[in-house]
Each structure stands twice: as C-alpha cells, then as structure tokens.
Amino acid sequence: MLPLSGLVGCSDLVIRRTIEVATPTARQGAGKASMGERTRVEKQQPATGLRICMLAYTEYLTDPRVRREAQALAERGDQVDFLCLRQPGVDPHQRWQTVQGVHLCYLPFAKYQGGSQIAYLFSYLVFLLLSGWWLTGLYLRRRYHLIQVHTMPDFLIFAALIPRLLGCPLILDMHDLTSDLYAVKFRARWARPIVWGLRIQERLSAGLAQHVITVHEPYRQVLIQRGIRPTKITVLMNVPDDRIFTMDARPTGKLSVAANGSGQGLHLVYHGTIVARYGLDVMLRAVASLRSQIGGLRLAIYGKGDDLPRLIQLRSALGLEDIVYIHGKHVPTEDLPGVLTQADLAVVPNLSNPFTDAVLPTKLMEYAALGIPAVVARTPVVAQYFDDQMVRYFTPGDERDLAAAIASLAGDPVARRTLARMAHLRFTQPYNWTTAKRTYYALVDRLCQRRAAPHATASRGFAPYQAADHPLGAGHPLGADHPLGADHPPSETTRS
C-alpha cells in the first residue's frame, strides 16, 4: 500500500500522461495564420456505418458515461462527432481532435465554476445558443442519421431544433433530473417559479426528443409519472466499462486476502464531483474523529467542483493536511482503477435530499467492479440495488455513524473482503456495460432504421470540410475557425 505521498505522485503522473496523450504531439504554432495548417486533413477511410452527432455541456475526457456511449458507436464503425467543452490542457487554438475513433469538436466555451446558481443557468443558455449554431451548421453539411444530447441541462436538446424539424431523430440522454436538483438548490419561496419553469422545460425537452434514455428504473418511473410515455423511455444504466473497471486492474487480479491487517493503517478514497450535496464535509469530520483511534489513517479525495475551496478550508480547520490529500482535479477514466485500487475502503457520503435520494452513484458501481469495499450513506435508490451484505451503511449526514462504520471495518480485513466480493458478484455481474451496450445498439439502430447500410455510406465517404462547402457560403465571417469553414477532423489524431 502506497503512503500518502505515493498517492499524490501517482495521481499527478496519470494526469500528465493523459493530457500528453490527448494533445497532439506536433504543434503547428498559434494564431490564425497557422489555422489552415492545423486543420489540414488526410483523406479518410470510407464510411461503414451511421453518421451520429452528440452534444454535451461537459469535458469529454473525464466524463465516463458520454465516453462509453460515443466510443461504443465508433467501435462498431459509426462516424461519431461530439460537440463538447474545451478540455483543460488542450491547445486553445485546436478545434477538432480524434480520441479513440470519436471526433471531438471543442466549442469555444469554458465550464462555469462558481457558486451562483443563476450564473450557472445563464452559462447553460449561452452554451445552448453557441452549440445550436455549430450543430445546425454541421448537420447541414453532414446530414447526421441521429443526434444524441446529454443532460444537464435538459433544454440543451433545443440546440438540435432545426435538425429535428428537418427529420433527424433525437435522443435525450437524461443523466439526472434537472428540476429535482434545482428544487434542492433553490429552496427560497422567490425561486419557486424557476423550479416550475425547469419542470416545464423537462417535459418540453422530452417532447422534442424521439426517445429518452435515463440511468435507472426509479428515474424512469418518475418520468412516466410526469407524463412521458413509458414506451419512449429506455434505461441505460450508468455502469462502468467492464474493460477498464475490472478485477484485472488490481495488482494481483483478485481481492486482497488481508489488506492492512498488520498495522499498516487504513487508506480511504473518494472520487467524483465535489459539491455540498455529496457530504464530503461529513466525511472529513468523521476522519478527524477517528485520527486518534486508527493508526496510519489516510484519505485521498480525487475530483473537483464548486465546493472544493470550502473543503480545503475545512481540512485546514480540522488540522488534517497531513492525512487528507485533495487532488483538486478529475482523474481520466482509464487511470482511475490504478488510483482507486490503492485504497482499502471507499466512502460514498451523500447527504439525503429529494435529489440525492434518487441517485445511484457511479462511483459506487465503480468500487463494486474493482472489488473495493464501500461505506455508503443509506438512500432509497442505493438501497434498491445494494443490500447490507454488499456495503456497510451509515445514516446520511451523521458523522458519528460514518465514523463508527469506518471503525468497524478498519481492523477487519475479512469483513471488507466479504463486502467487496458480494458487491462484485451481485451487482457487477448482472449490471455491466457489455450487457447494456447491446441495449444501446438496438435502440440506435431502431431509431435510425439502419438507414445507412454499408454499401450506401461507403460511396459517400467521410469527406473533410472545405470552406467552399459551407452551406452559408465560403465567405462566412467565422472563416476557417468555423466547423464548416475548416477541414475536419485534423490529421494529427490522437489516441488515449
């Protein structure tokens, strides 16, 4: 088991490696003078599948759900364009990049990081307008067979309004229930109209889509109760990719027999978004109370979010700088197993509110896939999928109960191994991406009615964009920086 300093070094290494892989090795300079060189492409291979576009207000490389779905389509031969936020560490002048067969289009927009919920909604609206412009232009050139929009926000699907009017089928992939989240954030009476408006846009957004995907059956039931037809909703669980999150990722390829049973301490881990509703402050206070009871106690936190500054301040106030490491960044999906399997025990400290009560945390499913035992806040949806033989529960928001749960497992490696084994057998085996992917393929093919048979698409090819091909004219004011006024995708493709 690596000490805390080892965890820090490892995490920094994998972040640097991923950014290096995701960024072209040969720079063509900066500024508009070199734009033509950066966007010059080689002739692409003939198309062999559907032409699909995806859109999300996200940083692609660190969003496992959107990556799984996009890569799954690319792997079977579909042509996938993905419009997303610019990834930190990527050349700001780079517009297109190919990652594992998926053609990423980085829109010139940064993700809002702050505590103002009104500003967050405003950033969504600005992104809607920007992405709608780009998506419409791309559709007029590429004539996609299908467009899939990922939430949040739900109304981002209106960026695809013109393609929908022109007959392109749309999928709305609802990762979370936006209106429920903002009902928790906006509790003041004056904010109720905002929540009502979000509930209306949820219904309108689902109405614009030809089909809706959501992440588990409880969400599906909620959407049905809100008026969406049952036949219009498919559950595609947010299960981890079982080629990445597998027992083979462990050093021995199996569960440890007696990890840290010889006084080496207890290493805890949390990864994911850092926001107040996920209860990381409760976790820090529990760790502070256990410091004198458990020798060699360590906690590593990976991720970023709006609550990160407050969490760092709380760590200092509790005097935990020497035993709590806060990375402050999201770890790329491929590198997560190597980081997480260094831990003896994972913590999922979600608070209880109308939003989190309906969440099935992706991190918990990843811990189960890797064979990492977990201490988990007992919320209704989690309890539907994990029982007391699979995880150690504690009362949400109760730092003493969390501390007691951690302490009960600290000196009992056999109990930890048993929990990990049961979670892996009873959750990961029936719920995995290999199985879910088949459902996803069937849905996409049905919506497209396989309109792009191999013999039909092969003759069209995957032609690069040229300024003269711009549907609005070669003299468009955005010039080579616009997706329809520049070659696509760049020849300097990357693999990660």
Percent of the chain with pLDDT over 90: 58
> Is the domain of 265 the same as that of 234?
no
| Distant-in-sequence, close-in-space partners of 366: CB < 8 Å, separation ≥ 6 | 240, 245, 336, 340
Helix (H, G, I), strand (E, B) or coil at 326: strand
Q: What is the pLDDT at residue 186?
A: 66
Structure-block tokens of residue 93: 């002048």
CA atoms in the 13 A half-sphere facing the CB of 52 = 29
> Is the domain of 470 the same as that of 369?
no
Place of tokens 């501390």: 403
Asked if residue 284 belongs to a domain, the reply is: yes
For the cut 60, the answer to whether the pLDDT of residue 17 exceeds it is no
Kind plus residue range of the DSSP H or E element containing 97: strand 96-99
For the cut 60, the answer to whether the pLDDT of residue 13 exceeds it is no
> Is the domain of 346 the same as that of 446?
no
- Whole-angstrom distance, CA of residue 186 vs CA of residue 316: 29
Kind plus residue range of the DSSP H or E element containing 8: helix 4-22
> Is the domain of 379 the same as that of 463?
no
Query: DSSP for 383-451?
Result: HHH--TTTSEEE-TT-HHHHHHHHHHHHT-HHHHHHHHHHHIIIIITTS-HHHHHHHHHHHHHHHHTT-
Q: For 256-287, what is each residue's pLDDT tens digit? A: 554 444 446 899 999 999 999 999 999 999 99
Could you say which of 383, 411, 428 is where a domain stops?
428
- The C-alpha angle 209, 157, 116, rounded to 5 degrees, equals 140
Q: Where are the alpha helices (DSSP H) in 237-303?
A: 280-290
Asked if residue 31 belongs to a domain, the reply is: no
Q: Dmax over Cα atoms in the chain, in whole Å?
A: 72
**Which region, left, alpha or beta, applies to residue 331 given φ > 0 means left and ψ of -120 to 50 means alpha?**
beta
Asked if residue 423 belongs to a domain, the reply is: yes
Asked if residue 11 belongs to a domain, the reply is: no
- Whole-angstrom distance, CA of residue 182 vs CA of residue 57: 17
Q: What is the pLDDT at residue 451?
A: 55
Count Cβ atoms below 10 Å from residue 450 Cβ, excluding itself: 14
Place of tokens 């990423």: 104
Asked if residue 37 belongs to a domain, the reply is: no
Work out how many domains the chain is built from and give that number. 2
Amino acid at 217: E
- Whole-angstrom distance, CA of residue 147 vs CA of residue 130: 16
> Is the domain of 80 the same as that of 229?
yes
> Is the domain of 100 the same as that of 187?
yes
Could you say which of 409, 428, 447 is where a domain stops?
428
Q: For 112-168, what is each residue's pLDDT tens digit? A: 766 666 777 788 888 999 999 999 999 999 999 999 999 888 999 999 999 999 999
**pTM, 2 dp:** 0.76
- Whole-angstrom distance, CA of residue 72 vs CA of residue 66: 10
Place of tokens 């719920």: 431
Q: For 432-480, what is each residue's pLDDT tens digit? A: 999 999 999 999 999 998 654 443 333 333 433 333 333 333 333 333 3
Read off φ and ψ for residue 308, nearest 5 degrees.
-60, -45
Q: What is the pLDDT at residue 476?
A: 36
Q: List 411's β-bridge partners, or say none.
A: none
- Whole-angstrom distance, CA of residue 73 vs CA of residue 355: 31
CA dihedral 122, 123, 126, 132 (to 10 degrees): -120
Residues 80, 55 contacting (CB under 8 angstroms): no
The strand order across the sheet containing 297-302 reads 324-326, 297-302, 266-271, 345-348, 374-377, 392-394
Candidates 166, 95, 156; CA nearest to 130 is 156
Asked if residue 342 belongs to a domain, the reply is: yes
- Whole-angstrom distance, CA of residue 79 vs CA of residue 495: 16
Q: How far is CA 49 from CA 54, 69, 76, 211, 451, in A?
A: 16, 15, 8, 21, 9
Q: What is the pLDDT at residue 334?
A: 87
For the cut 90, the answer to whether the pLDDT of residue 332 exceeds it is no
For the cut 70, the answer to whether the pLDDT of residue 225 exceeds it is yes
Candidates 154, 177, 151, 171; CA nearest to 359 is 177
Asked if residue 321 belongs to a domain, the reply is: yes
Q: What is the CATH number of the domain that holds 89?
A: 3.40.50.2000
Asked if residue 193 belongs to a domain, the reply is: yes
- Whole-angstrom distance, CA of residue 254 vs CA of residue 467: 55
> Is the domain of 186 the same as that of 68?
yes
Structure-block tokens of residue 8: 């820090």
> Is the domain of 367 the same as that of 273?
yes
> Is the domain of 366 the same as that of 384?
yes
> Is the domain of 287 the same as that of 315?
yes
Could you say which of 386, 401, 428 is where a domain stops?
428
Q: What is the pLDDT at residue 485?
A: 39
> Is the domain of 352 the same as that of 462?
no
> Is the domain of 303 the same as that of 170?
no
* 237: preceding bond cis by omega (within 30 degrees): no
Q: What is the pLDDT at residue 491?
A: 34
Q: How far apart are the first and last CA of the chain?
A: 27
Residues 94, 106 contacting (CB under 8 angstroms): yes
Candidates 397, 269, 440; CA nearest to 345 is 269
Domain that holds residue 373: 251-428
